[in-house]
Structure 1
Amino acid sequence: MLRKDTGVLHLCLIFFSIPFILFGQYSSKDISYFQKSGAVLLESNSHLFEGKRIGIVSHASALSHGRLDNKLNRLDTNGFQNPIHTVDRFIDNNWNVIKVFSPEHGFRSDAPAGEVISDDIDYKTGLPIISLYGKNKKPSVEDLEDLDILVFDLQDVGVRFYTYISTLSLVMEACAENGKGLIVLDRPNPFSSVVSGPILDTSYSSFVGMHPVPLLYGLTIGEYAKMVKGEGWIQNSEILDLTVLKIPFFEREISVNPIPPSPNLPNLNSILLYPSLCLFEGCPVSVGRGTDYPFEVIGAPWYKDKTFVFTPKKNSGSKYPKFEKQICYGDDLRNSAKISMGFNIDYILEYFDAWSRLTPEVSQKSTNKIFFSKFFDKLAGSDVLRKQVEKGLNASEISQSWEKDLKDFKENIRDKYILYSVD
């Protein structure tokens, strides 16, 4: 954990494999990002925490810098001048933290996607860490019985199948069922202004998409929490005691946390490509897991018309990468001009077309004759997109099929929960 009196970011000792990171290595842009968190308002809302038994849902990216009052005036010039983790911030304020809860990828944000996370103990504070991506994805009655409130501080990316909003929904439901207050510390995400892609059909609800929202829903995680409660998408939503501490000075600008929220989204470029490329997780196409540039390349052993190649290998971010040790032919998107601030179906259309032109012998050997798995439909939120692609619709026809539903979502649902100005 991070202690403000050392001058060294001890957080990295448990969160990262590198030996240390000095505060001075953060740029002014990084520091500016850490100031845009609901956590900087904690001290001016101390009445929410004093005398309470507290649990915190958090991970490595939950750093903040400085402290403000509720009128957004700086409280002093000395408090928290170095980035500090939310758990340490609570401890330094002498608030009674009982335990920590961790999401997918773990408290250290270093576990590969889908890996089961076990309960643990934080070596520095001795606090128990309860996994919400292990035997349970929802806090149990026993987990909450010695708590009065939960604080939620996860760095989301604003994409429906990124599982932190599913964790949020289950935490909200558990708090409602057990009479516990929930305080969400809001944070920016790069897609908070973008509404794009197909809306989930709730018959396809899963942990990679629980609610009837677009693939990109255009909300911060605090706004999303208000929407889940307001729309009654969890049981007992009407009795949930929900507080959102807003992001100061936030104007929905594109920004990214200097500490990656998960190991395979290491930079802004990978996050911007993630909504469009993640659907390939349900296809015989690699998204670069097992390389140094996950979600910045795509390819497959069967696409030999391509000249760019990469070879996935087991690494810390992927223990069992797709096409491990096989040469994949595909596209390097690290400097691509095609990246857009939305959902781009062109990649799926191109690769499906190329796969469809394979000879039966090659397709059977390379892909088991199936391009779209059932997981593709889960990620897409229904079987509609798959059927549109298989039918031969072009990108314009597919995107036009979403427009009415997206308009209805924005006007009848999203707009009710906006906390920050929109264009």
Structure 2
Amino acid sequence: MKIGLDNFLENHVQKFKGKRIGLVTNMTGVNQSLTPTIDLFHEHPDIHLAALYGPEHGIRGDAKEGEKVESFVDPYTKVQVYSLYGASKKPSKEMLDPVDVIFFDLQDIGARYYTFIYTMAYVMEACAEQGKHFVVLDRPNPISGTIIEGNLVAEEFKSFVGLYPIPNRHGMTVGEIAQMYKYEFGINCELTVIPMVGWNRDMYYDETGLFWVPPSPNTTGIDMSILYPGTCLVEGTNLSEGRGTTRPFEYVGSPYVDGYRLAKAFNAKKLPGVLARPTSFIPTYQKHKEQICEGVQLHLVDRTAIHSLATGLALLETIAEMYPNDFEFVQFGEKKRYMFDLLAGTNELRDLIVRGKTSTFLEGCRVQEEAFRKQREPYLLYK
């Protein structure tokens, strides 16, 4: 197979000769031989790389989640890098003035919460306003393009971890999402998607022959990415989601948890495709930093059978039942909003977790999943 980047360099470069090119990318922007897109563009005789744009974590991936990134001049290419995760998440007119066309080459991980697809939305909005051409160099959805899980984000809970009504696990590539943004959600910029060649919807990333480059510090691999549509919700609680360990979003625990009891209770639910193993860990940063946490590591038994969201909810429900006086949903800001609600796209799920009724929520998701499956159909590029 070929990713969009290699397809572009082999077949489409001449269409953009003479244009001033901007590039939204980071360390995942590499060709199939791991040469960075930045270098390939900068050194290409027919490409004028005029500006770089970095998403959350920066173009080199050295910033932590939520950490603001400053604009700077790239020391290797001497090209100006504009941060899209600093003072503004949407490029200003001044940031787009140096370019005619903006290319987007980032590896997504297939979950609604992951911010790269909203960076793409904001850049598309700015391109529509400033009359710039937007080009997506498509890449695989690493957790396949067939499975859809979860609810659609309610209007009042839209945020940078859920800006559009898409489910927790959307099963789309960034190129397909870009088409949906334009034709379904009205971001009417000039759009070109350079597709992959040879990618099938049922492929997982480790079946593509591509090297895995972590898109951010805590995206460690395929197992983590499959679990993430469910275990990312742990971020909205006082549990550690394993940040600051070698297994983020696979480890879940806290100083108040008994890992052996939790593993036994979770495994008794007999969820398909997953088993829990009792473990202990000490986060190096974030929640419960340098404290011993007990909990579980979730292990994939069958990645085609697991329902990631149901797995995450079952784990939270189990912990809420076992530790009703310790388990909490965390609040932030002056308005005391719940981060969990922004991740969940609704304020109904917190109560259902505490009451042990998440099966009701999952049943309600099925109607929304089916509606989304039909809604996305016209924008799918691969069968």
TM-score, scaled relative to structure 2: 0.87
Higher mean Cα deviation, 291-300 or 174-183? 291-300
The code of the aligned residue for 1:128 comes to Q
CA displacement at 1:281 relative to structure 2 = 0.3
Residue number among 194, 206, 219 corresponding to 1:245 in the alignment: 194
Secondary structure in 2 aligned to 1:312? coil
**Residue segments in structure 2 that go unaligned for 5+ positions in a row:** 261-277, 332-337
Secondary structure in 1 aligned to 2:151? strand
Secondary structure in 2 aligned to 1:167? helix
The code of the aligned residue for 2:376 comes to R
**Residue segments in structure 1 that go unaligned for 5+ positions in a row:** 1-31, 66-81, 314-319
The residue number in structure 2 matching 1:157 is 109
TM-score, scaled relative to structure 1: 0.79
- Is 1:129 the counterpart of 2:81? The answer is yes
The residue number in structure 2 matching 1:289 is 243
Residues 20-419 of structure 1 correspond to what in structure 2 (within 5 A)? Answer: 35-65=2-32, 82-94=33-45, 95-191=47-143, 192-234=145-187, 237=188, 240-252=189-201, 253-255=203-205, 257-304=211-258, 306=260, 307-313=278-284, 320-333=285-298, 335-337=299-301, 341-358=306-323, 360=325, 363=326, 370-371=328-329, 373=331, 374-395=338-359, 397-411=360-374, 413-419=375-381
CA displacement at 1:354 relative to structure 2 = 3.2
The code of the aligned residue for 2:44 comes to N
Cα deviation, 1:177-209, whole Å, max 9, x if unaligned, reads 000001100000123222111111122111011
> What number of residue pairs does the alignment pair up?
352
CA displacement at 1:146 relative to structure 2 = 1.9
CA distance in 1, matches of 2:36, 2:215: 14
CA distance in 2, matches of 1:303, 1:348: 17
CA displacement at 1:175 relative to structure 2 = 0.3
Percent identity among equivalent residues? 36
Query: Are the aligned partners of 1:280 and 1:348 in contact in 2 as well (CA < 8 Å)?
Result: no
CA distance in 1, matches of 2:165, 2:316: 28
CA displacement at 1:275 relative to structure 2 = 1.1
Query: Are the aligned partners of 2:253 and 2:294 in contact in 1 as well (CA < 8 Å)?
Result: yes
CA distance in 2, matches of 1:86, 1:172: 20
Cα 1:298–1:345 shift into 2, 3 Å: same
Query: Are the aligned partners of 1:155 and 1:187 in contact in 2 as well (CA < 8 Å)?
Result: yes
CA displacement at 1:242 relative to structure 2 = 0.2
CA displacement at 1:295 relative to structure 2 = 1.8
CA displacement at 1:336 relative to structure 2 = 4.1
Cα 1:38–1:202 shift into 2, 3 Å: farther
Query: Are the aligned partners of 2:316 and 2:353 in contact in 1 as well (CA < 8 Å)?
Result: no
Query: Are the aligned partners of 1:288 and 1:298 in contact in 2 as well (CA < 8 Å)?
Result: yes
Select the structure of larger CA radius of gyration. Answer: 1
Cα 1:377–1:324 shift into 2, 3 Å: same
The residue number in structure 1 matching 2:272 is none
CA displacement at 1:233 relative to structure 2 = 4.3
Secondary structure in 2 aligned to 1:345? helix
Cα deviation, 1:346-378, whole Å, max 9, x if unaligned, reads 443344443344474xx3xxx5xx336410010
The residue number in structure 2 matching 1:29 is none
Cα deviation, 1:105-146, whole Å, max 9, x if unaligned, reads 110123211111111221111111111001111110000112
Q: Over aligned residue pairs, what C-alpha RMSD do you find?
A: 1.9
Query: Are the aligned partners of 1:61 and 1:261 in contact in 2 as well (CA < 8 Å)?
Result: yes
Cα deviation, 1:227-276, whole Å, max 9, x if unaligned, reads 00001343xx2xx1100000011112101552111110111111111111
Query: Are the aligned partners of 1:196 and 1:217 in contact in 2 as well (CA < 8 Å)?
Result: yes
Cα 1:297–1:372 shift into 2, 3 Å: same
Query: Are the aligned partners of 2:22 and 2:52 in contact in 1 as well (CA < 8 Å)?
Result: yes
Query: Are the aligned partners of 1:355 and 1:371 in contact in 2 as well (CA < 8 Å)?
Result: no
CA displacement at 1:37 relative to structure 2 = 3.2
CA distance in 2, matches of 1:116, 1:96: 28
CA distance in 2, matches of 1:183, 1:169: 12
Query: Are the aligned partners of 1:195 and 1:342 in contact in 2 as well (CA < 8 Å)?
Result: no
CA distance in 1, matches of 2:48, 2:259: 60
Query: Are the aligned partners of 1:275 and 1:342 in contact in 2 as well (CA < 8 Å)?
Result: no
Cα 1:394–1:348 shift into 2, 3 Å: closer
CA distance in 2, matches of 1:245, 1:53: 18
The code of the aligned residue for 2:113 comes to F
Cα 1:268–1:231 shift into 2, 3 Å: same
Secondary structure in 1 aligned to 2:361? helix
The code of the aligned residue for 2:240 comes to S
